[in-house]
Chain A
Amino acid sequence: MKLNLKLKISMLAAAVLALIAVFMLIKLGTNLEYILPRRFKKVLAIVLTGGAIAYSTMIFQTITNNRILTPSIIGLDSLYMLIQTVVVFVFGSMGIANANVKVNFVITLGIMMLFVIALYRFMFRREGRNLYFLLLVGLVLGTLFGSMSTFMQVLIDPSEFLIVQDKMFASFNNINTDLLTLACIILALTGLYASRFTKYLDVLALGREQAVNLGVPYDYVVKRLLIVSAILISVATALVGPITFLGLLVANVAHQFLRTYQHKYLIVGSMLISMVALLGGQLIVERVFTFSTTLSVIINFVGGAYFLYLLLKETKL
């Protein structure tokens, strides 16, 4: 059984490598110095965000003991859109924050982190431990942010609205190199920090009571893992834009494909699947649809359809 799992993981890894190779080398042309670094940046961005989203969703689903939730639903996507809209609304499309992508990235990330920490602090102090309650509050806040952004989007100039609309859909084109480095560092540090807790995940999956019985400092670990998962999602969103259903899709595919409860395989597997999905999707968008649609729209569509299928097929939720 163990060999089988390792084999599956290696197959996924091989698929990722093959896709990267295709992505880098397809229709290469002659202008190598220009094309290769550009494509490399794209691949790096895809690998980073794909990995981060998958990791974060896996943790999140284990903590919440639920396979139909994703961390973006606590309102992070809507908050991201609200921040981008406010920036364009206040500073205009030529504004400072927009011209300097680094400042925008740092501010966006900062606000999202503040939001998550404030939400968690408030909820954990007042409500004890009902996670679903926390999520619903987040979701409602997300709708609130959504209403406010829609309102501002109506007021801004149509040509400036196009800039906001661009941000609505995640895109891997034109990613700033410095941002990529910065995101790399943040993700690496977060991953390192989280690795201290990943050994608990198998036990956490048994539910709160069992985990406490088995000697896991439950509240301590869960709070930290929730924040880790929020950081990962925020970095990914601030880097490329919102892809709400990617995590949901890959985490569930990983469960179905690997059929195991060991998180060391599940996490690696879901990260690899996520990269396959993004790389393959990006290839299809570029070569088949020739950019007539965006990757995040396709991923959300496929992820959403799969989610519906899960909801209707599974007998127990």
Chain B
Amino acid sequence: MKLKLRYLIVLLFLLSIVSLFIGVKNVSPLDLFSLTEQQKQVLFISRFPRLISIIIAGISLSITGLIMQQLSRNKFVSPTTAGTDDSARFGIMVSLLLFSSATTMQKMLVASIFALLGTFIFIKILDKIKYKDAIFIPLVGLMFGNVISSMTTFFAYKNDLIQSISSWLQGSFSTIMTGRYELLYLSIPLLIIAFLYANKFTIAGMGEEFATNLGMNHKLIVNIGLVIVALVSVVVMLTVGLIPFLGLVVPNIVTIYKGDNLKNTLGYTAVVGAIFVLVCDIFSRLIIFPYEIPISVTIGVIGGVIFLYLLVRRKAHEA
């Protein structure tokens, strides 16, 4: 099956080239060797950063979803369905309140702490739930997320921050350009750590007793996984915005074909995630050209439909 991954990478490469040449300012591949000054600027200030951020965001979110599903042993858990995203947003609001002109680093720090806290609370709640139904758990997670965002609304409403908060709700690549997306690079080392720990996450996913029997510090591994998830989610949210369902849909599709061993699936998940976001982005840029739809809407709709399909499919298999 090694071959297949290679095809996927070729596909990703082709799509990337397509993505580079779509936009209001016309730059065609033929111009490459005789670029005007303006075309050069368009390419290097806007198009390349956009492409890079799409690929990083796609890879990061899919992989965080995969890690969370492995650690919680539930296929329907992801940053969206575990309160991570909502907690991060709460953290961003807190940082806006505390330091009125928060720098990106401050926002990132505070938001990460909150995202981490929210995710830990969710994991704690999971421990308490006796009825570990695969469908009940995301339900609790989504409710939990709603609760957190109702608190965000409470403080935001009092301080006239509703509008700036809702802008974090909308993921979009249209504002990405040089100087505004570099924070995303932070997730690369985190993803490398994730790759290094892949085997351990797989074992941790087999349950605490089993993992401890194999001589592993279960708690430590789970915590490392959650820290990676929280940091990556915050980085993406601060640069791109919220992209719902991505971490849910991509890992599930890959798992259907490739099974549960993280070592085998991580690469596929990363590439498929990048391709998925890239395709959705190209679609959102073309459908009402020369305007564009925010990526969170496209993925929210497409991802939601796929998620529903996965749910129904799972039930059909059970019956």
Question: Which residues of A does B touch, CB under 8 Å?
Answer: 68-69, 73, 126-128, 130, 132-133, 135-137, 139-141, 143-144, 146-148, 150-151, 154, 165, 169, 244-245, 292-294, 297-298, 300-301, 303-305, 307-308, 311-312, 314-317
Contacts and interface: CB of A to CB of B under 8 A. Distances in A.
B304 A147 contact: yes
B294 to A, nearest CB: 7
A317 B150 contact: no
Interface stretch (B67-75, B120-128, B176-184): B120-128
A300 B304 contact: no
A128 to B, nearest CB: 8
Interface in B125-179: 125, 128-131, 133, 135-136, 138-140, 142-144, 146-148, 150-151, 153-154, 157-158, 162, 166, 169-170
Contacts of A137: 308, 311
A-B pairs with the 4 shortest C-beta distances?
A: A147-B300, A304-B147, A301-B154, A300-B150
B294 A294 contact: no
B300 A143 contact: yes
A317 B136 CA distance: 11
A219 to B, nearest CB: 17
6 contacts: A133-B135, A143-B300, A143-B304, A293-B154, A312-B128, A316-B128
Given A132-B135, A140-B304, A154-B170, 18 more contacts: A68-B140, A73-B146, A130-B315, A143-B244, A151-B294, A244-B146, A297-B153, A297-B154, A301-B151, A303-B150, A305-B147, A307-B147, A308-B121, A311-B128, A311-B144, A312-B125, A315-B128, A317-B129
B307 A140 contact: yes
Q: Identify which of A293, A297, A305, A308 gathers the most chain B CB atoms within 10 Å of its CB.
A: A297
B9 interface: no
B301 A148 contact: yes
B143 A69 contact: yes
B119 interface: no
Contacts of A304: 146-148, 150-151
Given A133-B311, A317-B128, A305 B151 contact: yes
B contact patch SS: helix
Q: Identify which of A135, A144, A165 gathers the most chain B CB atoms within 10 Å of its CB.
A: A144
Contacts of B76: 136
Interface residues of B, number: 46
Given A144-B300, A144-B301, A136 B135 contact: yes
A127 B158 contact: no
B297 interface: yes
B139 A135 contact: yes
Contacts of B131: 317
Contacts of A130: 135, 315
Interface in B302-317: 304-305, 307-308, 311-312, 315
A75 B295 CA distance: 22
Contact of A307 (B130, B138, B143, B300): B143
Given A127-B315, A132-B136, A293-B157, A147 B297 contact: yes
Contacts of A69: 139, 143
Contact of B139 (A136, A148, A244): A136
Given A137-B308, A147-B244, A308-B147, A132 B133 contact: yes
A311 B125 contact: yes
B157 A294 contact: yes
A33 B46 CA distance: 64
Contacts of B245: 143
Contact of A150 (B151, B297, B308, B315): B297
A148 B118 CA distance: 27
